[in-house]
Every structure is written in C-alpha cells, then in structure tokens.
Amino acid sequence: MTEFRFSRDAELSALAEGMIARTLPKDRWTHPAHFAAAVWIVMRRPELVAERDMPCLIRAYNASVGGVNSDTEGYHETITQASLCMVPAAVAEAGEGAAPVVVCNRLLERFGRSDWLLRHWTREVLFSVKARRDWVEPDLAPLPA
C-alpha cells in the first residue's frame, strides 16, 4: 500500500472547511480526510472544540451527502474520539509552529490505515452499537499516550 500524504496546508483547509460547510463531495471524505479535518480544527479553528464539535459536524455532513447516521452506518463515536485523541500528541511531537500538514502527515504515518483501531479494540466491540453511539474503552490495548 502506498503511503498517503498531503502536500499543502490548503488541502487540509479545503477538506475541513468543506466538511464543516457541507460542500465537500462525498468521495473526498476518506480516512485521511478525517485526520486532516481533525488537525485543521484543532490547529486553526480555536472557536471549535474538536471532541465536542466534530460529532455534530460529521453527523450533519453525512446527512448532507445522503448518508445515514444509524446503529450500523455513518457517524461512529468511538472511532471519532479515538482518532481525536491522537491529534494533541502529534501537535506536540511536531513542535511549536509546525504546519498542520506536517502534523497530519505524521498522524497518517502511524494511523493512516483504518485498521489501526483493531490493535486496541476487538472487531466485535469496535463495531458494536454501543461503540457507534458512545465512547467505549479499548478492550485489547490502551491507546498510545
């Protein structure tokens, strides 16, 4: 698998702002795009609190592109919050003044494959209705600090 990387901050901005405005084409809302939006919101949208606001933003975006937020598809609370947990450490690791694209690419180096979560949760727990609706603690291994 070829490693996915962003080349400019403008790419992150377009993904995040497009998701927020509900103008982003559905096919651009990929696993890397989720991390791009999270990084952009944390680093460039201080009026938003990612852990609080991204769930509503993602649900609204999903609905705007014809998606369904249900017990089996659409928004997933545990996956969203687990991914958001990785952002502050990546920001700190990149150092003060680092560009969002640098932070995002570092995250993607470690968590660029969507199956990274299965090192921490069993498939059964991660894809349960409870985990989709609410935060569920990892049942295999704690998340990286």
Sign of CA dihedral 48, 50, 56, 57: positive
Taking only the tens place, the pLDDT of each residue in 43-73 is 999 999 999 999 999 999 999 999 999 999 9
State which residues form the domain around 67: 9-113
Is residue 94 assigned to a domain? yes
Q: Is residue 2 part of a domain?
A: no
Phi then psi for 101, rounded to 5 degrees? -65, -35
Asked, for residue 30, whether it belongs to a domain, the answer is yes
In tens, the pLDDT along 71-127 reads 999 999 999 999 999 999 999 999 989 999 999 999 999 999 889 999 999 999 999
Instruction: For residue 77, give the amino acid letter.
Output: E
What is the total count of domains within the chain? 1
Residue 3 lies in a domain: no
Side chain identity at 105, as an amino acid letter? N
Q: Is residue 105 part of a domain?
A: yes
Question: In terms of pTM, does the model score above 0.85?
Answer: yes
Q: Which two tokens stand for residue 49?
A: 């609190």
Inter-residue long-range contacts of 111-114, CB under 8 Å, 24+ positions, other chains counted: 111/35, 111/83, 111/86, 112/3, 112/4, 112/31, 112/32, 112/35, 113/1, 113/31, 114/31
Domain membership of residue 134 (yes or no) is no
